[in-house]
């Protein structure tokens, strides 16, 4: 999910968490000095809110992990392909790791709301652990990316580190609404930057890819992009919209893996391409779908001349000249 969709989903989750925690923080401050009545108990309310928050966190984590693993062309819970001796979509596993630790945060919230003996700071400690994992993953998440994409990820890494620092302060500073609101605002900042990163991921590379590019999915595609930039080539596959079933010209024999590994490259100067698409079911003797393209060649027009052309006989090689008799 190292593309537009892979960054929009965590952005929505983080913005939702930021709004939820801000609302809960304001309610805590409003009920702090309120006297307890016989029909309303704020502690019971917030205990139920913690339980609901944990369930929502676990649900978000499961949605993120499953959607990242089982999308078309996803790793399908396979980390290493021993047949091809390569890792399987490591960027998707980066997102899987982040979702996993936020899911553990949800489990911790459920345990803290049901087991009274657990300290309330236990959930804060688990949140701090999840933020450290997120920061570590994003620090190593920029390999083989464009300069603008790296810059946006570095800003996101900075926001994550600031959020972790404020969460660490909350372990020692209890019941401070300003510190909690600062943490929730930083979560909103993270969510907005995920959206910005998704926008950068979804952009086309001028002169290299078209508007239907899927984005860089792995290191091999990044090398192909760099090769096209260095040699003034354009990837013709990305210039035309394809149906979802035509995006992947190779499918594994068991049908579990799909990859877009066949490309047609054209010169940027010579506008040769007309249309490029996959021909499904074509019998070409390979396990790949046939990739076709139509070209439009612009030939130079040569004007007709009325003068007879005179050959220079002195330039004719001796071997081709006729013998004199």
Give the pLDDT score at 132. 94
Name the residue among 87, 96, 94, 81 with its Cα closest to residue 252. 81
Tell me, yes or no, whether 52 and 128 share the same domain: yes
Tell me, yes or no, whether 157 and 100 share the same domain: yes
Q: What are phi and psi of 160, to 5 degrees?
A: -65, -40
Give the pLDDT score at 2. 46
What span, in angstroms and rounded, lies between the C-alpha atoms of 100 and 140?
17
Q: In 102-212, which ranges are E strands? A: none
Give the pLDDT score at 264. 78
Q: Would you say residue 40 lies in a domain?
A: yes
Higher per-residue confidence, 215 vs 317: 317
Tell me, yes or no, whether 100 and 153 share the same domain: yes
Higher per-residue confidence, 264 vs 203: 264
Interval 134-144: pLDDT, tens: 999 988 877 65
Q: Would you say residue 226 lies in a domain?
A: yes
Tell me, yes or no, whether 105 and 26 share the same domain: yes
Q: Would you say residue 308 lies in a domain?
A: no
Taking 90 as the threshold, does the pLDDT of residue 99 lie above it? yes
Q: Token pair for residue 209?
A: 């890819």
Interval 242-253: pLDDT, tens: 666 666 666 666
**Integer distance in angstroms from the first to the last C-alpha of the chain?**
83
Confidence at 282, pLDDT banded by 50, 70, 90: low
Distances (CA, A) of 235 to 212, 227, 264: 11, 11, 6
Which of residues 168, 201, 234 is at a domain's end? 201
What span, in angstroms and rounded, lies between the C-alpha atoms of 76 and 306?
71
Give the pLDDT score at 262. 74
Name the residue among 70, 122, 73 with its Cα closest to residue 96. 70
- Give the lowest-confidence range in 128-132, 172-176, 181-185, 274-278: 274-278
Taking 80 as the threshold, does the pLDDT of residue 276 lie above it? no
Residues 193 and 156: beta-carbon distance below 8 Å:
yes
Mean pLDDT of the chain: 78
What span, in angstroms and rounded, lies between the C-alpha atoms of 17 and 61?
12
Tell me, yes or no, whether 17 and 110 share the same domain: yes
Taking 80 as the threshold, does the pLDDT of residue 274 lie above it? no
Name the residue among 153, 154, 152, 184 with its Cα closest to residue 166. 184
Q: How far is CA 151 from the centre of its chain?
A: 15
Confidence at 113, pLDDT banded by 50, 70, 90: confident
Confidence at 230, pLDDT banded by 50, 70, 90: confident
Give the pLDDT score at 278. 65
What span, in angstroms and rounded, lies between the C-alpha atoms of 192 and 230?
34
Give the pLDDT score at 197. 73
What sign does the dihedral 275-231-206-270 (CA atoms) show? Answer: negative
Tell me, yes or no, whether 167 and 24 share the same domain: yes
Q: Would you say residue 316 lies in a domain?
A: no
Give the pLDDT score at 52. 92
How confident is the model over 192-221, as a mean pLDDT?
67
Give the pLDDT score at 258. 63
How confident is the model over 263-288, as a mean pLDDT?
64
Q: What are phi and psi of 164, to 5 degrees?
A: -65, -40
What span, in angstroms and rounded, lies between the C-alpha atoms of 223 and 67?
26
Tell me, yes or no, whether 163 and 281 share the same domain: no
Give the pLDDT score at 246. 65
What span, in angstroms and rounded, lies between the C-alpha atoms of 70 and 92?
10
How confident is the model over 70-82, as a mean pLDDT?
80
Give the pLDDT score at 60. 93
Tell me, yes or no, whether 167 and 264 share the same domain: no
- Give the lowest-confidence range in 15-19, 77-81, 215-219, 269-273: 269-273
Q: In the chain, which ranges are E strands? A: 80-81, 86-87, 233-235, 250-251, 258-259, 265-267, 273-279, 290-295
Tell me, yes or no, whether 194 and 253 share the same domain: no
Higher per-residue confidence, 89 vs 284: 89
Q: Which domain holds residue 143?
A: 4-201
- DSSP-based helix, strand, coil % in the chain, nearest 5: 55, 10, 40
Tell me, yes or no, whether 223 and 275 share the same domain: yes
255: phi > 0 → left, psi -120 to 50 → alpha, else beta; which?
left
Tell me, yes or no, whether 50 and 143 share the same domain: yes
Name the residue among 186, 74, 69 with its Cα closest to residue 134. 186
Length of the chain: 325
Confidence at 150, pLDDT banded by 50, 70, 90: confident
Higher per-residue confidence, 19 vs 256: 19
| Total count of domains within the chain | 2
Tell me, yes or no, whether 182 and 60 share the same domain: yes
Residues 166 and 179: beta-carbon distance below 8 Å:
yes
């Amino acid at each position: 999910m190292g593309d537009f969709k892979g960054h929009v989903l965590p952005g929505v989750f983080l913005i939702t968490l930021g709004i939820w925690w801000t609302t809960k923080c304001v309610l805590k401050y409003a009920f702090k000095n309120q006297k307890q009545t016989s029909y309303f108990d704020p502690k019971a309310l917030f205990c139920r809110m913690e339980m609901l928050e944990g369930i929502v966190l676990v649900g978000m984590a499961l949605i993120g992990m499953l959607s990242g693993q089982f999308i078309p062309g996803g790793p399908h819970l396979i980390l290493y392909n021993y047949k091809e001796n390569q890792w399987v979509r490591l960027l998707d596993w980066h997102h899987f790791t982040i979702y996993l630790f936020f899911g553990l945060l949800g489990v911790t919230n459920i345990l803290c709301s049901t087991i009274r003996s657990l300290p309330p700071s236990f959930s804060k400690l688990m949140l701090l652990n999840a933020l450290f994992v997120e920061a570590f993953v994003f620090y190593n998440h920029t390999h083989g990316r464009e300069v603008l994409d790296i810059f946006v990820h570095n800003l996101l890494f900075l926001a994550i580190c600031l959020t972790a620092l404020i969460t660490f302060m909350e372990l020692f500073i209890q019941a401070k609404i300003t510190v909690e609101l600062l943490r929730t605002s930083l979560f909103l900042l993270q969510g907005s930057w995920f959206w910005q990163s998704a926008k950068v991921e979804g952009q086309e590379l001028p002169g290299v890819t078209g508007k239907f590019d899927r984005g860089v999915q792995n290191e091999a595609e990044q090398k192909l992009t760099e090769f096209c930039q260095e040699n003034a080539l354009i990837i013709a596959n990305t210039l035309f919209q394809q149906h979802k079933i035509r995006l992947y010209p190779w499918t594994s024999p068991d049908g579990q893996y799909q990859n877009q590994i066949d490309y047609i490259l054209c010169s940027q100067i010579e506008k040769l391409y007309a249309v490029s698409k996959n021909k499904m079911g074509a019998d070409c003797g390979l396990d790949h779908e046939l990739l076709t393209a139509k070209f439009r060649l612009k030939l130079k027009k040569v004007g007709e001349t009325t003068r007879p052309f005179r050959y220079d006989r002195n330039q004719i090689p001796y071997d081709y000249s006729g013998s004199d008799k």
